């Protein structure tokens, strides 16, 4: 049992808000975390799983059923299966405005759950539970976390092969069951081909026309596919940073698979030796580090990448609430050296600090306010 860093924030949110939504991909540990809330609670919380026919049957008359539990926390798992509940939850909360009325769990973004953000506006706080992080598993497990990814069943598997097998089953279940349950009608084989193409272009600029041509569909169709993967927490689109520098700037986002273990499965990478020898190793490491940093960013901070047609480039540009920027370059090397394009962008944007994140153990200055930073200390970028 790995204690999740979101546990404390979840309890604090339940003490302040009538409805707390705990969102994230399937199998990431939402149910396990929610059930820890049940322990020792007085009066005891009620847990309902919308994937169980018996629990669905209880909600045939949802208002009558839920109204009798107005003095208890009600946990509703996989709520995206019953999006019609949101207006009722709003009405029940308005009848008795108190913190800790409902904890809802979902495997899709608020936008995909039929605009629940609007339905429960002012009554709900959204928390995202991500796959396991270095802080949760320990720095010594960083290499295994990168290879296997952060889904608990994958990371805790007894061997690399068991982990790979679990991830393959996860992908199949996601395509064949989870997506259709959201009302999305796309052939599983077609979406898997698209997902695999994203894996092989991981960390590169989004090129809709190229991918559409390879799949034999239109650019709007692949855009729709990308939105589905983003809304179900599978991919991340990193937007470009625009600055008035009088230079031609890249306008397309970069696309990353959020979990490195899923990336490696789609690329057929089973062991660390295979990963180390694979052409994707650099982009995989870049995406892994960027995802870990973005999970840690404080409220009000934004993440971008920066690139000009002249070659100035920063892998991750963090902007704080004051508008000041921090440059992050990611290198899979024990002797990381920023390229000329990084220094040009760093100066042009007047960044207040810079970091070169690498898989080593020593932190040291590189020059001009830029430091080499071990991947196990990435929280320092927000100092």
Lowest mean pLDDT among 76-90, 327-341, 351-365: 76-90
Is residue 249 scored above 70 in pLDDT?
Answer: no
- Protein fold of 134-382: Arc Repressor Mutant, subunit A (1.10.10)
Q: What percent of the chain has pLDDT over 70?
A: 96
CB 36, CB 7: distance < 8 Å: yes
Q: Residue 43's pLDDT band (boundaries 50, 70, 90)? A: confident
Pairing, β 353-358 against β 370-374: parallel
In sequence order, the 6+-apart residues with CB closer than 8 A to the CB of 147 are 160, 260, 261, 264, 269, 271, 272, 275
Length of the chain: 383
CB 131, CB 33: distance < 8 Å: no
In sequence order, the 6+-apart residues with CB closer than 8 A to the CB of 76 are 48, 50, 82, 85, 102, 103, 104, 105
Mean pLDDT value of segment 221-241: 94
CA atoms of 324 and 56, how far apart (whole Å): 50
Is residue 248 scored above 80 in pLDDT?
Answer: no
Q: Residue 107's pLDDT band (boundaries 50, 70, 90)? A: confident
Is residue 1 scored above 60 in pLDDT?
Answer: yes
Average pLDDT score over the chain: 92
Residue-wise DSSP of 65-80: HHHTTTTS-EEEESGG
> What is the model's pLDDT at position 309?
82
For 368, the 3-state DSSP assignment is: coil
Q: Residue 197's pLDDT band (boundaries 50, 70, 90)? A: very high
Is residue 180 scored above 60 in pLDDT?
Answer: yes
Is residue 326 scored above 80 in pLDDT?
Answer: yes
Pairing, β 370-374 against β 364-367: antiparallel
Mean pLDDT value of segment 63-83: 91
Q: Residue 8's pLDDT band (boundaries 50, 70, 90)? A: very high
Tokens of 234: 């599978």
Is residue 350 scored above 90 in pLDDT?
Answer: yes
Mean pLDDT value of segment 89-107: 93
Is residue 106 scored above 80 in pLDDT?
Answer: yes
Q: What is the pLDDT of residues 74-89, one digit of tens each?
A: 999 998 888 888 899 9
Is residue 200 scored above 70 in pLDDT?
Answer: yes
* CA 17 to chain CA mean position, Å: 23
Q: Residue 44's pLDDT band (boundaries 50, 70, 90)? A: confident
Q: What percent of the chain has pLDDT over 90?
A: 80
State the alpha helices, DSSP H only, in 104-237: 116-119, 134-137, 142-148, 152-155, 160-173, 179-181, 188-200, 208-215, 219-231
Q: Residue 112's pLDDT band (boundaries 50, 70, 90)? A: low
> What is the model's pLDDT at position 114?
58
> What is the model's pLDDT at position 120?
85
CATH number given to 6-128 = 3.40.50.300
Domain residues of the chain, as ranges?
6-128, 134-382
> Which range, 24-28, 241-245, 282-286, has the best average confidence (pLDDT)?
282-286
CA atoms of 51 and 342, how far apart (whole Å): 49
Mean pLDDT value of segment 344-363: 95
CA distances from 282 to 168, 202, 203, 353 (A): 23, 10, 9, 23
Is residue 246 scored above 60 in pLDDT?
Answer: no
């Amino acid at each position: 049992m790995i204690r999740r860093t979101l546990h404390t924030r979840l309890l604090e949110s339940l003490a302040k808000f009538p409805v707390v939504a705990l969102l994230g991909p399937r199998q990431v540990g939402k149910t396990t975390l929610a059930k820890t809330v049940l322990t020792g609670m007085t009066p005891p919380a009620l847990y309902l799983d919308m994937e169980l026919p018996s629990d669905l049957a209880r909600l045939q008359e949802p208002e009558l059923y839920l109204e009798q539990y107005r003095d208890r926390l009600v946990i509703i798992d996989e709520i995206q299966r019953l999006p019609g509940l949101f207006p009722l939850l709003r009405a029940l909360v308005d009848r008795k405005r108190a913190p800790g009325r409902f904890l809802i769990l979902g495997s899709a973004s608020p936008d995909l759950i039929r605009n629940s953000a609007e339905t429960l506006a002012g009554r709900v706080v959204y928390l995202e539970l991500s796959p396991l992080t270095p802080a949760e598993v320990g720095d010594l497990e960083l290499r295994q976390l990168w290879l296997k990814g952060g889904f608990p069943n994958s990371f805790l598997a007894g061997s690399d092969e068991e982990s790979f097998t679990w991830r393959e089953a996860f992908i199949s279940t996601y395509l064949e069951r989870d997506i259709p349950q959201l009302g999305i009608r796309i052939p599983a084989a077609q979406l898997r081909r698209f997902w695999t193409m994203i894996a092989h272009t991981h960390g590169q600029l989004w090129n809709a026309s190229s991918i559409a041509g390879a799949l034999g569909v239109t650019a709007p169709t692949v855009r729709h596919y990308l939105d589905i993967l983003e809304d179900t927490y599978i991919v991340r689109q990193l937007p470009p940073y625009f600055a008035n520098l009088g230079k031609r700037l890249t306008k397309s986002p970069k696309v990353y698979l959020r979990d490195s273990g899923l990336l490696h499965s789609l690329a057929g990478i089973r062991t660390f030796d295979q990963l180390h020898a694979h052409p994707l190793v650099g982009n995989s490491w870049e995406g892994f580090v960027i995802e870990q940093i973005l999970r840690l960013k404080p409220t009000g901070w934004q993440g971008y990448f920066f690139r000009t047609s002249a070659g100035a480039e920063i892998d991750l540009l963090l902007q704080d609430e004051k508008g000041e920027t921090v440059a992050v370059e990611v290198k899979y090397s024990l002797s990381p050296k920023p390229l000329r394009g990084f220094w040009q962008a760093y100066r042009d944007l007047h960044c207040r600090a810079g970091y070169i994140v690498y898989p080593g153990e020593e932190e040291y200055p590189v020059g001009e306010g830029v430091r080499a930073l071990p991947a196990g200390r990435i929280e320092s970028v927000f100092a």
